[in-house]
């Protein structure tokens, strides 16, 4: 593979990694500008078909943006750091989803143990 293809792959990987970082929980400071609007757009779309699902869809949409962030960061780093292109792997995808689910379970455990407190009223009905 030529040097030009390596450079293009690295730039594309860096771009994917940056987008992933912006969506991931590692960039918590931009949730208000990126993740929350995307989650609300998802919830509004779901509410077009079933209005009572709005809040659940917003929470699920927010979680999806974070999972997508992890996946894009991983894919971007893999592209930017590897010497050759790697084909899509269901095994790798499953590992990425597993790590994201483990992160979610970890955060829920922190909330249940009251080590992290969500904003007032968020978890109450």
| Domain assignments of the chain as residue spans, ordered by start | 3-112
Mean pLDDT across the chain, nearest whole number? 84
pLDDT tens digits, one per residue of 39-95: 999 999 999 999 999 999 998 999 899 889 988 988 888 888 887 777 778 888 888
Report DSSP letters for 42-59, one per residue: HHHHHHHH-GGGHHHHHH
Note whether 76 and 17 are within 8 A (CB): yes
Whether the model pTM is above 0.85: no
The whole-number pLDDT of residue 42 equals: 96
Burial label, 38 (beta-carbon count in 10 A; 0-12, 13-18, 19+)? middle
The whole-number pLDDT of residue 15 equals: 93
């Amino acid at each position: 593979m030529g040097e030009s293809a390596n450079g293009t792959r690295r730039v594309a990987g860096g771009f994917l990694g940056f987008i992933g970082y912006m969506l991931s929980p590692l960039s918590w400071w931009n949730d208000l500008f990126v993740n929350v609007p995307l989650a609300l757009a998802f919830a509004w779309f779901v509410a077009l078909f079933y209005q009572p699902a709005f809040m659940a869809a917003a929470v699920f949409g927010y979680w999806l943006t974070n999972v997508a962030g992890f996946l894009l960061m991983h894919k971007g780093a893999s592209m930017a750091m590897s010497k050759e292109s790697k084909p899509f792997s269901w095994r790798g995808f499953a590992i990425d989803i597993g790590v994201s689910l483990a992160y979610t379970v970890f955060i829920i455990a922190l909330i249940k143990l009251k080590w992290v407190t969500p904003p007032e009223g968020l978890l109450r009905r």
